[in-house]
Amino acid sequence: MYRVEEVTTGRQLGQFISFPDILYKDCPQYVPALHSDQKNSLTKVSSLKYCRRKMWLLRDAAGKVAGRICAMINPRYNERYGKSRARFGWFDVINDLEAAKLLLDTAETWAKDNGMDEIHGPLYYNTLGKQGMLVEGFGNVPPFNCIYNYPYYSELVEKLGYAKECDWVQYKVPVDQEMPEKIVRLSEVMKKRYNLNEGSIDSLKKDADTVRNFFDVYNSSFSESVYNFIPFTDEEIGEEAKASMPFISDRLSSVLVDENGELAAFGIVFPSISRALQKAGGKLFPFGWFHLLKAIASKKNDTVDLMINGAVPKWQNTGISSVFHVILSQKIRNAGVKTAITNPQIENNSAAHVWSKYDNELYMRRRCYIKSI
């Protein structure tokens, strides 16, 4: 009934990239990724200099695409954690157990042939990309950097022997609530005791060396605290800086510097572009660019994505997060924002517990599945 084919031609790659747009064409929550970004991630991104990957399409008897999957091996991950794991991503499939089995069997066989004994996912090559299968929050629109999938996905993979490795949680936080008094007091103590001040992101963006330092700090700040984290290469840092810096400004984000002017902590907030991406339909031209630029530049965004909060290693667990929480709260309010969506965080990470201090509701839960092969 079905057949699997490896993606080796440009036409197949185009079908691989566009398949979710067809599968989710009637789903109001789905946020299409830009096709140009997907092509770059699958063919040109620097992670492919050390990662191996293969892609497959699944076709039905009529030749229509019914699913897709990418299998990857990141040797830097396996070396860091002493594992022999492959990962799968770009996994989309119709609601059919046989179809899902054929795709996952193909990825598992390739992984075993390459000496792996486990496979987990959905994941990207590293921690920069979309990861985690949605298992709660199907009625919500995800941030642009997060996967959306139908509820049946988890049912299919669990029937095929996959089990939970970890969950990431995201919260919806109303912006109009007062900051907890305890956080405000701690913020004032921290600023006075350590002479902490807010730096200028707009100035930072003008200096390539300073931008590089920011991402080096970002790299080191998460190297020991983020589950399954893989430190980024210099090239990956350069790519991420180029892709993300246009979204960052003093209007919504904040960087903290110590008394020597050195970066101590940061809170990065993006205006939500999910609705703009829905209007773009995965394409920048002819009008996709207009919707995106309008969303980025608009001063009437009612929703923001809390992308990254972090601190230089020596400042971690000091209470410094209270300082940029207070600053960001004021900035977001001043911008007229009503709702903030947190970035996915491992459910048992202490950093995720901070949201319990605020009025919040669980927005989405994502799961990484794992299987011995």
Indicate whether 215 and 324 sit together in one domain: yes
CATH number for 199: 3.40.630
Domain containing 299 equals 176-337
pLDDT string in tens for the chain (373-residue length): 899 999 999 999 999 999 999 999 999 999 999 999 999 999 999 999 999 999 999 999 999 999 999 999 999 999 999 999 999 999 999 999 999 999 999 999 999 999 999 999 999 999 888 999 999 999 999 999 999 999 999 999 999 999 999 999 999 999 988 888 888 999 999 999 999 999 888 887 777 777 777 777 778 777 767 888 888 898 998 888 888 887 788 999 998 999 888 888 888 899 999 999 999 999 887 778 788 888 877 777 899 999 888 888 888 888 888 898 899 999 999 999 999 999 998 888 766 667 777 888 999 999 999 999 9
Do 16 and 118 belong together in one domain? yes
Among 139, 167, 195, which residue terminates a domain? Answer: 167
Distance CA 30, CA 365 (A): 16
Q: Indicate whether 222 belongs to any domain.
A: yes
The reply to whether 86 and 130 lie within a common domain is yes
Give the chain's domain count: 2
365 belongs to a structural domain: no
* Shared-domain flag, residues 109 and 219: no
Q: What is the CATH number of the domain that holds 127?
A: 3.40.630.30
Let me know whether 157 and 183 are in one domain: no
The answer on 23 and 48 residing in a single domain is yes
What is the pLDDT at residue 352?
64
Claim: this prediction has a pTM higher than 0.85: yes
Do 160 and 185 fall within a single domain?
A: no
Query: What's residue 146's pLDDT?
Result: 96
Cβ count near 282 (within 10 Å)? 19
pLDDT reported for residue 281: 93
Q: Around Cβ 126, how many Cβ atoms within 10 Å?
A: 24
Let me know whether 199 and 317 are in one domain: yes
Please check whether residue 371 lies inside any domain of the structure: no
Whether residue 103 is found in the same domain as residue 242: no
Q: What is the Cα 76 distance to its own chain's centre?
A: 20
Q: Say if 358 falls within a structural domain.
A: no
Are 313 and 216 in a shared domain?
yes
Distance CA 173, CA 107 (A): 38
114 and 220 housed in the same domain: no
What string of DSSP letters covers 164-225? Answer: EEEEEEEEEEETTSPPPHHHHHHHHHHHHHHT-EE--HHHHTT-HHHHHHHHHHHHHHHTTT
Same-domain status, 299 and 152: no
Distance set, CA 243 to CA 32, 76, 247, 291 (Å): 17, 23, 8, 17
